[in-house]
Structure 1
Amino acid sequence: MKHLFIINPAAGKGKNLKLIPIIEEIFKNKEDKYFIEITKCAGHATEIAKSYSQKGDYRIYSVGGDGTLNEVLNGMVNSSSSLAVIPCGTGNDFIKSIYNFSKNYKIEDLLMKIINGKEKFIDLCTFNYRYFINIASVGFDAEVAYNAIKVKKFPCVGGMLAYIIGIIITVFKYNSYKLKINIDEKVLELDGLLAAIANGRYYGGGIFVAPKARIDDGLFSICAIEKVSRLKILALFPKVIKGTHEDIKEVSFYQGSKVRIESDKPVAFNIDGEITKGKIAEFKIIKNGIKIIYP
């Protein structure tokens, strides 16, 4: 078996590099071949994953945050390689859908469990012509994610704290959008606060937006929230964080394998933590589209 570790030194404020001697020690007495590559710029993880996966089958380890994971994913899709997640970023949201992950974990222990883990097929998702694996969203929370990315640049600000600060900033300048949402054969039209199209269950540093989402059922879990007052936004999000927002009247949940969203004006989309803007987006789920390593 061949192992490729793609390490983003910018994620986790540079702590990821301390894993290199640990990886070397683990493989010292193993016959398996391993390779360590360190990313140098945005998009480099995609290039590395693509280069290796075109040459053969690897276990490809994304060592960083959810942004690094998305880059690695987009480099290795349509190959026979398998994907492993070493959570070393500030959010580490996707792995929470496959592993009972806590803030008190020891990365060395988890690293060994993943190296010795089992492969399993899960669902793969597309946003227009790009792949993602966790959650895509449109509207308010995409704007929150954009603002959270900016505040993460400050010392000691990351994960949930950055997201909460992002909410506060966004509340005072956000306007709702007229959204037309097609879910398979169902059509919704709403003055929308946000819509989350979920494969995984968590985003934004631990926000439990899609409690019923499953990464291997061939369906998206869609959470749509209608426009509410600025004051109610501040009351609503603590429930979204805990995953107890189903009883709020402006919140609806749906399931489907294809979603198309049209907005009356350009709106922010958050795709596994990457922000883009547009008026039309199409989402599709590919059942059993990627192999992932379970610890």
Structure 2
Amino acid sequence: MKHLFIINPFAGKGGGVEYVEKIEEYFMKNEELGNVEPYYIEFTKGPGHATEITRKYVENDRYRVYAVGGDGTLNEVLNGVMDSSSSLGVIPAGSGNDFFRNIGDTIDSSLLYRTINGEEKYIDVGKVNGRYFLNVASVGMDAEIVANARKFKKHPLFFGMSSYIAGIFYTVFRYKSFNSMVNINGVEHNKETLLLAVANGKYYGGGMKIAPFADINDGNFDVYHIDKANPLKIVLFFPQLIRGKHESIKEVKYFRAKEIKIRSEESFLLNVDGEIFDCCEANFNIIPNGLRMVIPLKTSN
């Protein structure tokens, strides 16, 4: 087996770089035991570079490719791995690490070794406007919050969910819902969209449980549409959103679907696993068993 580690040195305030020594030590010990497995370490230099590096390696050979960084790095590596024979592992070293919550038990000193020796299992993959995603893609106020949270994340006082919460309060009194046409399971809905979240995984925003019933192996998206609401009510229902208890709120509508489309005459932001794009239409579809994911061995505790 060939191993490729894509490290984002800027994710999580540099936490990914700390894995370099551990990676080298692991393979050195294996070599001393006669278990020689080629491994390669590459560092990203900017947006899109992780996808570029990954594609270069997996184009003509099979690797276990490990995304060492945050959810953004994982998304970039995913888009490099798809349509190849390679598998994808995740070594969370970002501030949110939301997707890892769907496959891992804990982040500890043994995680690297448990992942390298993990089992490969097929999981579902989402696709929106030609870009693949593993966790959650969303439009509306949420994407605005993510964009603003990224600004707060650069400040040393904010990390993980705290930057997301700061983004909420910065955005909530400024953002307006927009008129949209949402197609879910072939049924058209005229909406005033505050937020549309299309979830393959359960968590986003540094631990917010947006889709408590989502399953990365069920062949469906869990879809949440939030209608227009006044700013004060938005602030009040975010604690319920964090705990995954938001389905009782009247503005929240829940669906399960394989295909979703949203379009508007107004431009809106699209959030794809933390990457932000500007568009007027978004087309989502699920790819059942679309990826071989490396699942870490469980801890003995």
2:90 counterpart SS class: strand
Offset, 1:189:
1.9
State the SS of the aligned residue for 2:253. Answer: strand
Matched, 1:48 2:53: yes
Partner of 1:67: 72
TM-score w.r.t. the length of structure 1 is 0.96
Are 2:181 and 1:180 aligned?
yes
Look up the match of 1:235: 236
CA distance in 1, matches of 2:289, 2:43: 29
Instruction: Give the whole-Å Cα distance in 2 for the aligned partners of 1:121 and 1:156.
Output: 38
What do the CA deviations read for 1:220-242 (whole angstroms, capped 9, x no partner)? 10011111111100101110011
Deviation of 1:11 after TM superposition, in Å, equals: 0.5
Give the superposition deviation at 1:55. Answer: 2.4
Q: What per-residue deviation string (whole Å, max 9, x for no partner) do you get for residues 137-179 of structure 1?
A: 0101111001101111111312100010000010121101112
CA distance, structure 2, for counterparts of residue 172 and residue 230 of structure 1: 6
Distance in structure 1 (CA, Å) of the matches to 2:137 and 2:124: 14
- Stretch deviating more after TM superposition (45-54 or 181-190): 181-190
Name 2:83's counterpart in structure 1: 78
SS for the counterpart of 2:91 is: strand
Counterpart residue number, 2:33: none
Rounded to whole Å, the distance in 2 between the matches of 1:156 and 1:74 is: 32
Partner of 1:253: 254
Aligned mates of 1:118, 1:256 — CA distance in 2: 29
Letter in 1 for 2:16: N
The CA deviation at 1:216 is 1.1
Q: Any stretches of 5+ residues in structure 1 without a counterpart?
A: none
* Structure 1 residues 63-94: Cα deviation after superposition (integer angstroms, max 9, x where no partner): 00000001101111100100000000001000
Contact 1:177 1:264 in 2 (8 A): no
The code of the aligned residue for 2:71 comes to: D
How big is each residue's C-alpha offset from its partner over 1:247-294, in whole Å with a ceiling of 9 and x where there is no partner? Answer: 111111101111100123111111110111111110111111111011
Asked if the contact 2:15/2:94 (under 8 Å) is kept, the reply is no
Residues 176-209 of structure 1, C-alpha deviations (whole Å, 9 max, x = no match): 1112111122222221210100001101111100
Task: For 1:81 and 1:28, locate their aligned partners in 2 and report how far apart those are by CA, in whole Å.
Answer: 23
Give the corresponding residue for 2:192.
191
Number of residue pairs matched by the alignment: 291
Q: List aligned pairs for 1:254-269, cutoff 5 A.
A: 254-269=255-270
RMSD: 1.0
Residues 45-194 of structure 1 mapped to structure 2, 5 A cutoff = 45-101=50-106, 105-106=107-108, 108-194=109-195
2:245 counterpart residue number = 244
Q: Which residue is equivalent to 2:14?
A: 14
Aligned residue runs from structure 1 range 265-276, under 5 A = 265-276=266-277
> Which whole-Å CA distance do the structure 1 matches of 2:252 and 2:46 have between them?
39
Q: Could you tell me which amino acid in structure 2 is paired with residue 5 of structure 1? A: F
Letter in 1 for 2:196: A
Which secondary structure state, in structure 2, belongs to the residue aligned with residue 27 of structure 1? helix
Q: Which amino acid aligns with 1:213?
A: A
What secondary structure is seen at the aligned counterpart in 2 of 1:29?
Answer: helix
- What residue in structure 1 maps to residue 205 of structure 2? 204
1:24 equivalent in structure 2: 24
* TM-score, with length taken from structure 2: 0.94
Separation in 2 of the partners of 1:67 and 1:20? 20
Q: Structure 1: which amino acid aligns with 2:15?
A: K
Match in the other structure for 1:287: 288
- SS of the equivalent of 1:138 reads strand
Contact 2:126 2:287 in 1 (8 A): yes
Q: Do the aligned partners of 1:137 and 1:195 also contact (CA within 8 Å) in 2?
A: yes
User: In structure 2, the residue corresponding to 1:201 is in which secondary structure?
Assistant: coil
For 2:198 and 2:271, locate their aligned partners in 1 and report how far apart those are by CA, in whole Å.
10
Percent of aligned pairs with the same amino acid: 50
Give the aligned residue type for 2:229: V
Q: Distance in 2 between matches of 1:56 and 1:239?
A: 46
Counterpart secondary structure, 1:72: helix
- Tell me, in whole angstroms, the C-alpha distance in 2 between the residues paired with 1:100 and 1:18: 21
Structure 2 segments unaligned to the other structure (5+ residues): 31-35, 297-301
The answer to which of 136-145 and 36-45 deviates more is 36-45
Aligned counterparts of 1:114 and 1:12: Cα–Cα separation in 2: 19
